[in-house]
Structure 1
Amino acid sequence: MKIIIAGAGEVGFHLAKLLSYESQEITLIDPNKDSLMYADSHLDIKVLKGDATSIRILTEAKVSTAELFIAVTSSQSTNITACVLANQLGANKTIARISNTEFIDFKNKGGFTKFGIDELISPEQLAAKEIELLLNQSVFNDTYEFENGALTMLGLNLTNPAQIIGKTVREAAQMFPNVHFVPIAIQRFGSHLTTIPRGDTMLTEGDHVVFITSKGGDEELCKLAGLFKTEIKNVMILGGGRIGRKTAKGLTKTQGRFNVKLVENDKERAFELADRLPNTLIINADGRNVELLEEENISEMDAFIAVTGNSETNIISSLVAKNRGVKKTIALVENMDYFELSHSIGIDTLINKKLLAANSIFRYIRKGDVVAMTKLSSMDAELLEFIVNPNSKICDKVIKSINFPLTAIIGGVIRDGDGMLALGDFKIIAGDRVVVCCLPTSIKKVESFFY
């Protein structure tokens, strides 16, 4: 697939890096020579210095033959303009990164598709939504919803007194008469290797296990893992940037559900936030000051969310919060290498804007009718939601009769809005939305079942 990316910043570089691993034909455009030199020396891609809103530059990049044009510069107006031009010059699909999320909320009214923009993404909004979902599933490390919660991905670390430690996947399933969860990926403690579990796979202490659950599956997992669901009420947010502001706004939308404090060091921004977030208590102070956090009763918080522009500040302050007894800690990080450390250093969840943006864009790369996709944090695996068409190879087949690769697993099926676990005797029909977890080695074979 020929893909052009406008913007060699953190999001653009990360996308180019991931896509280059899959042997896609990538051209990266940016006016900054240094950014392009770094990308050119580290990635197997083409680079082109120039303005992505220049018709000459787009023509030189051969945009007329591009199957996908992605504009992810730091300038919203540049991204929109570049996508409109790319569409007019022949690009098949376009995606624009925006900062004003009103454009997403009123996408149809704004007429963006008429202009030739197929998708709008906001990494900051994606991060805010991820945080809100994590607070709603507070006992789990990772979470992702398919079709508004018809099926949910949940991740946790197995520690004593989890009842499923020392049991096989099949034995764990037999502990409930009508099981509503199935494990889809496991990472052993101290290992970077991701495995797709089978019925005879043993669950051991320290495993990081990702499950697909239907309605009620989260409660079953809590019982088996020895976890107690606690309501998140008092929340402290460190950092009043776009993510902090969007998170506070989302959490206080339902009056009385969350009590939110937001700590912002910049005085001018703090006053601005106080005007824009009337239901949030804004504190103008340096959140790195431990005494300040204690004065603001950090030990009484149920959740601490660190989303400043500095990854190290976010990690250290989250560790301080955890040390003071905060149940749920979430930290925004830019360095992907930190993901491997999250569970060992004690932070519940790390989030990354680049990864969230890539997840949103990658479904356009995959073959078959992909409507949702996410990469598992700290794991080398993907979760994809495919729509089954009448001519799909998998249509009208019983799962156990399908020659599905061993490095992939069907986690569940959404039919007519209802989520259900898909075991061996389950028959897949046209219109089903099938959620698949697979390792990179089996992606192409999995795709072949759905187109």
Structure 2
Amino acid sequence: MKIIIAGAGEVGFHLAKLLSYESQEITLIDPNKKSLAYADTHLDIRVIKGDATSISILKDARVNSCDLFIAVTSSETTNITVCVLAKQLGAEKTIARITNTEFIHYKDEVGFTKFGIDELISPEALAASEIELSLKQSSFNENYEFEDGALTMAGLTLSKTASFIGKTVKEAAQIFPEIHFVPIAIQRFGTQFTIIPRGDTKFKRGDNVVFITSEGGDEELCRLTGKVNREIKNVMILGGSQIGYKTARDLSEKGFNVKLLEGDRDRAFDLAEELTKVLVINSDGRNVDLLEEENISEMDAFIAVGTNSETNIMSCLVAKSKGVKKTIALVENIDYFDLSHSIGIDTLINKKLLAANNIFRYIRKGEVVAMTKLNNLNAELLEFEVKGTSAICNKIIKNINFPRTAIIGGVVRNGVGMIALGDFKIEEGDRVVVCCLLQSIKRVEKLFL
């Protein structure tokens, strides 16, 4: 697949790196020589120094034979312009990064596809949505919803209170036959290896396990693992960035009591004028005395989305020490994900990963409806729509030659999520959620072509 990326910033570089690992033909365009230098020497991609709005630069990148054009510069105006030009010059599909979420809200009314933009993505909006889902499922480390929650991915670490510790998947299923969840990936404590569980796989204390749940499965999972899905009402947010603003606005509109800390005085006043239901405080959040004055110990959740990752992490640790049950930190360094559970932060958010996940589904073969990569695990969750011509159509799961390093977690049929076990028959129109290790993706894709 030939892919052109305009913008070698944090999102563009990260995308180029991930795509280059998959042997895609990548061209990266940026006017800044320094931004391109590292990519040129460390990645197997082509780089072009220049302004992506230049038609001659686009032609030099051979945009006329491009399968996917991704514009992720820091300027949404540039991204929209470049995608329009790329489409007119022959690009098959275009994706533009934007910061103004109104564009997404009104995209059908405006008709962006008519003038050449197939998809709009906003890392900030994706991050705000991820935070809201994490508060909704407060007992889990990571979450992802398929088909508006018909199926939900939930990740957690097994403690000694989990009732199926020491039992195999098959034994657990026999003891709890009416459950509405299934394990799809396991990372053993202290290792970097991802296991796709089978019937003889044993649950161990400290395992980081990812489950797929249908309706009601999250409550069952909490009960059986000794977790408590606490209701969250009082929320403190550190940082009045686009993510902080959108999170505060959305949560306050849904009835949460929100306090927002912003260090810049002018920005704090602007936020106070716009967010009439939010208490905005002019403070950078690093002052422990001020946090105590603002009753941080009475907060149900603390969300740190400032510009500095280390400050976000430290602020969450302070909040945790004051008794806050749910902490969420925005981080730029993906390496921090490996440390999140050991240092005591419940959930880490990374804009680059969210944007990459959203874009990656356009690269996968088959009718991929949604996709997410699992944090810390070398695996992907893919949602495929089954076509009448798919090899998997009208087959019983246990009779499908499915890779050992992949598993069907669930099926959404007519809007209803179901846990799909061995005797389940796949039908045309089903939306099938599959978890697979990276080495088995191509085999899985072929089943849905």
TM-score, shorter chain, exceeding 0.5: yes
Unaligned runs of 5+ in 2: none
Distance, in Å, in 1 between the alignment partners of 2:264 and 2:164 is: 48
C-alpha distance in structure 2 between counterparts of 1:280 and 1:134, whole Å: 20
Instruction: Map 1:344-359 onto structure 2 (within 5 A).
Output: 344-359=342-357
- Structure 1, residues 123-146: CA drift from partner, whole Å, max 9, x if none? 000000000000000000010000
- Residue 174 of structure 1 and its aligned partner are, at CA, apart by 2.5
- Give, in angstroms, the shift of residue 178 of structure 1: 1.5
Distance (whole Å) between structure 1 residues aligned to residue 432 and residue 230 of structure 2: 31
Give 5+ residue unaligned stretches, structure 1: none
TM normalised by structure 1 equals 0.99
Correspondent of 1:424 among 402, 418, 422: 422
Q: TM-score, normalised by structure 2?
A: 0.99
The secondary structure found in structure 1 opposite 2:339 is: helix
Q: What residue in structure 2 maps to residue 66 of structure 1?
A: 66
Counterpart position of 1:277: 275
Find the aligned partners of 2:202 and 2:407 in 1 and give their Cα distance: 17
Structure 1 distance, partners of 2:175, 2:300, is: 31
Within 2, Cα distance between the matches of 1:74 and 1:65? 25
Give the deviation of 1:306 after TM superposition: 0.3
**How far, CA to CA, are the matches of 1:84 and 1:67 in structure 2?**
15
Distance in 1 separating the partners of 2:170 and 2:296 = 42
Q: Which residue of 2 aligns with 1:372?
A: 370
Asked if residue 396 in structure 1 is aligned to residue 366 in structure 2, the reply is: no
Q: Report if the CA contact (8 A) 2:155-2:209 is conserved.
A: yes
1:177 Cα shift?
3.3
Name the counterpart of 2:207: 207
What is the CA-CA distance between 1:228 and the residue it aligns to?
Answer: 1.6
Tell me which residue corresponds to 1:447: 445
Q: Which amino acid aligns with 1:243?
A: I
Indicate the residue corresponding to 1:49 in structure 2. Answer: 49
Structure 1 equivalent of residue 166 of structure 2:
166
CA distance in 2, matches of 1:335, 1:425: 43
Decide which of 429, 433, 436 is 1:435's aligned counterpart: 433
Q: Which amino acid aligns with 2:403?
A: P
- CA–CA distance in structure 1, aligned partners of residues 152 and 111 of structure 2: 32
After the TM superposition, list the runs of 4 or more consecutive aligned residues in structure 1 that deviate by more than 3 angstroms: none
Specify the alignment match of 1:230 in structure 2: 230
Give me the whole-angstrom Cα distance separating, in 2, the residues matched to 1:314 and 1:206: 26
Residue in structure 2 matched with residue 408 of structure 1 by the alignment: 406
Quote the Cα distance in structure 2 between the aligned partners of 1:23 and 1:266: 44
Q: What whole-Å deviation, never above 9, does each CA across 1:293-351 have from its counterpart, x for those lacking one?
A: 11111111000000001000000000110111100000000000000000011000101
Please tell me the residue identity of whatever aligns with 2:83: C
Whole-angstrom distance in 2 between the partners of 1:268 and 1:170: 59
Give the secondary structure class of the aligned counterpart of 1:397. coil
Amino acid at match of 1:145: E
Which residue of the partner structure matches residue 294 of structure 1?
292
Give the CA RMSD over aligned residues.
Answer: 0.6
Q: Structure 2: which amino acid aligns with 1:211?
A: F
Q: Report the secondary structure of 1:386's partner residue.
A: strand
Q: Secondary structure at the match of 2:211?
A: strand
Residue 209 of structure 1 and its aligned partner are, at CA, apart by: 0.2
Quick check: 2:239–2:284 contact (8 Å CA) kept in 1?
A: no
- For 1:335 and 1:41, the matched residues in 2 are separated by 21
- The reply to whether residue 113 of structure 1 matches residue 85 of structure 2 is no
C-alpha distance in structure 1 between counterparts of 2:284 and 2:25, whole Å? 45
Find the counterpart in structure 2 of residue 250 from structure 1.
250
1:330 aligns with 2:358: no
Deviations 1:253-283 (A, max 9, x none): 22xx310000000000000000111111000
2:176 is equivalent to residue 176 of structure 1: yes
- 2:338 aligned residue: 340
Amino acid of the structure 1 residue aligned with 2:127: A
Report the residue type matching 2:429 in the other structure: G
In structure 2, give the amino acid aligned to 1:66. C
Compare 223-232 and 435-444 and name the one that shifted more.
223-232
**Partners of 2:92 and 2:228 in 1: CA distance:** 49
Q: Aligned partners of 2:175 and 2:276: how far apart in 1?
A: 48
Q: How many residues align?
A: 449
SS of alignment partner, residue 428 of structure 1:
coil
**Equivalent residue number for residue 88 of structure 1:** 88
**Helix, strand or coil at the partner of 1:389:** coil
> What SS does structure 1 have at the residue aligned with 2:243?
helix
Taking the aligned partners of 1:204 and 1:116, their CA distance within structure 2 comes to: 51
Q: Which residue of 2 aligns with 1:191?
A: 191
